[in-house]
Structure 1
Amino acid sequence: MLLSARNRNLLILHFTVLIWGFTGVLGGLISISALHLVWYRVLLAALALLVYFRITKKSVVVSQRDILKFMGVGVIVGLHWVLFFHSIKISTVSVTLVTLSSVTLFTAVLEPIINRSKISFADVLIGLVIIFGIYLIFKFEFQYLWGIIFGLLCAFCASIFSILNARMVKRSSPTIITFYEMIGAFFGVSVIMLLKGEFTDEMILSNSDWMYLILLGVVCTAIAYVLGVAVMKELSAFTVALTTNMEPVYGIILAVLIFGKKEEMSTGFYLGAIVVLGAVFVYPYIKTKIESRNKQLVNRKLH
């Protein structure tokens, strides 16, 4: 039986989110430092996107102002990934992915400030629930304190570049934005490595590292991004947001299957994870309901 366009795109979206969830696992498998890992990742992603543009014969020409803007945001993206992989290397994939879910909390606070809009009561409420969930994880998994802190910093960066991307994508191609952001991330990480003297023999990769990095840079970054953008033509923003929330769930399941006992946590961790992920899942539904009710109230006043 042939799938409808919507169901086919929904399957593609779930597959894409599964690939994103696998990113954390690859971070745990690759032996080099987080800084070196991200340097290779963004370089491979930029090259893969360049090949994509060559094949599709799409132009990458934009104004100098836009290039600087996109690359500037790319520096934040690069920092986000360095913090993400460093968190994984000093804690676990599960701890990092759950902590990263706090991006909803940071967005609830930062988006109204950056866009100069009204703070949503639903956003604040969901944010408080997420704080409680992260508190439980802190309480029961205190040995991963620094992993949680770096995970929170990673979520903070993710919130900033997500808000900025949401503004830029209204005027520019998402794929073009990503291409220049990867270049910006590459230069940003390169500068940090130069200052720290990180261009050393430690960057030499094993055969397995090369394989994992190609998967990370090409499949999990470039291809997954193109697929993620493509499905938005058929699926609603609500469906995409809700499905994307499966990323930490898929990631934790994959991590447990691959790393086994290393990913086993206390009951308190799973309780905190359920609170955080539950809040993240419920958030789009509550947000949509409130926005729908507000529109109805406005329409009643007009009539």
Structure 2
Amino acid sequence: MKGRLQDYLLLHFIVFIWGFTAILGKLIEIGALELVLYRTLFAFIILGVFMTVKKRDFVIGKKEIYKILGTGVIIGLHWIFFFASTKVATVSVCLAGMATATLWTSILEPLIGRRRVRLFEVLLGLIIILGLYIIFKFEFNHLLGLIFAVFSAFLAALFLVINSRFAVKHDHYTITFYEMVGAFLGTAVFLPAYAFWGPDDYTINLVGSNMDYLYLLILASICTVYPFSISVELMKRLTVFSINLTINLEPVYGIILAVIIFKDKERMSEGFYLGTLIILLAVITHPFIQRYRSQRRLKPPA
């Protein structure tokens, strides 16, 4: 019981750290692409040194490495759109859009896992769309940021569905190391391509301020290597219900922290908070309904 309680407290601590990630993204002055490039570079170097010192195994087979590297590319794209959202909008808008990750998971799991679509998930999805509509209506000036965040949530859901299969087969540090390498390589390829085909006024800027590098080191170590690796490990001991329910609190933690740190810059309209509340209620309701349905299936007939 004591071990399970420690796992729950650790999970909440990790989600709290993730809630702080968007704030760091807002504080770092370099662009979203350069930010992700440095984040993933620092992350896999730190993790590589740690694994070498602790004599962790890097060898898992070429086929598996390629799969995990590919998943890392998805993670890199997820972070690019995530931080782009904080740059063009606000932390609160970004996290409100990220709350739709559960909706995307409910759509992707049946497609990838080849299971039936659940009616209650479709209904919750419609409620989430209603919440997004309300946010769009009241925060139209942040439309691009919200679109980026919703697409980032889609990529996050895709990554989680894929990553859950790796967690049962490989060490969590090994998985995280190769995913960070994949994310770095994907960003390194995408960065010059975006500079060439992207907006005419965009130029690659890899030189940040001293504070940028400090924030990046915090982002790569405390907000990436540590929580990313531990979350994969917790997948082996905690139920999907517990993990999903707790991760849903990330936007709550993040929005509260953003209002405390940035004050008036993060204060949004009443319509924004109404729409966000609708999304969060639908998201939090999802795992409760899922567990209730599972218990009914397991309950023996009278």
Q: TM-score under structure 2 normalisation?
A: 0.92
On the 8 A contact 2:172/2:233 being kept in 1, the answer is: no
Which position in structure 2 is the counterpart of 1:166?
164
1:215-260 alpha-carbon deviations (Å, 9 max, x no partner): 1001100012233344456544322222221111110111111111
Name the aligned partner's letter for residue 286 of structure 2: Y
Alignment of structure 1 residues 129-140 onto 2, 5 Å? 129-140=127-138
Which of 85, 92, 95 lines up with 1:94 in the alignment?
92
Which position in structure 1 is the counterpart of 2:199?
none
- Gapped runs of 5+ residues in structure 2? 197-201
CA RMSD of aligned residues (A): 2.0
State the alpha-carbon separation in 1 of the partners of residues 272 and 219 from structure 2. 28
Structure 1 vs Structure 2: percent identity of aligned residues? 45
Name the aligned partner's letter for residue 118 of structure 2: S
On the 8 A contact 1:10/1:231 being kept in 2, the answer is: no
| TM-aligned CA deviation for residue 194 of structure 1 | 2.5
1:286 counterpart = 2:294: no
1:223–1:118 distance in 2 versus 1, CA, 3 Å: same
Alignment of structure 1 residues 20-59 onto 2, 5 Å? 20-59=18-57
On the 8 A contact 1:5/1:234 being kept in 2, the answer is: no
State the alpha-carbon separation in 2 of the partners of residues 226 and 267 from structure 1. 37
Alignment of structure 1 residues 148-297 onto 2, 5 Å? 148-197=146-195, 202-232=205-235, 235-296=238-299
Which position in structure 2 is the counterpart of 1:113?
111
State the alpha-carbon separation in 2 of the partners of residues 274 and 201 from structure 1. 38
Secondary structure of 1:203 counterpart: coil
Secondary structure of 2:205 counterpart: helix
- Gapped runs of 5+ residues in structure 1? none
1:73-118 alpha-carbon deviations (Å, 9 max, x no partner): 1111100100000011000000111111111111111211122111
State the alpha-carbon separation in 2 of the partners of residues 234 and 193 from structure 1. 38
125-134 vs 192-201, greater mean Cα deviation: 192-201
State the alpha-carbon separation in 2 of the partners of residues 218 and 10 from structure 1. 21
| TM-aligned CA deviation for residue 269 of structure 1 | 0.4
Aligned length: 297
State the alpha-carbon separation in 2 of the partners of residues 4 and 159 from structure 1. 31
1:18 counterpart = 2:16: yes
| TM-aligned CA deviation for residue 9 of structure 1 | 2.8
1:99–1:196 distance in 2 versus 1, CA, 3 Å: closer
On the 8 A contact 1:75/1:181 being kept in 2, the answer is: yes
State the alpha-carbon separation in 2 of the partners of residues 257 and 103 from structure 1. 25
Q: TM-score under structure 1 normalisation?
A: 0.92
| TM-aligned CA deviation for residue 52 of structure 1 | 2.3
On the 8 A contact 1:130/1:276 being kept in 2, the answer is: yes
State the alpha-carbon separation in 2 of the partners of residues 64 and 250 from structure 1. 39
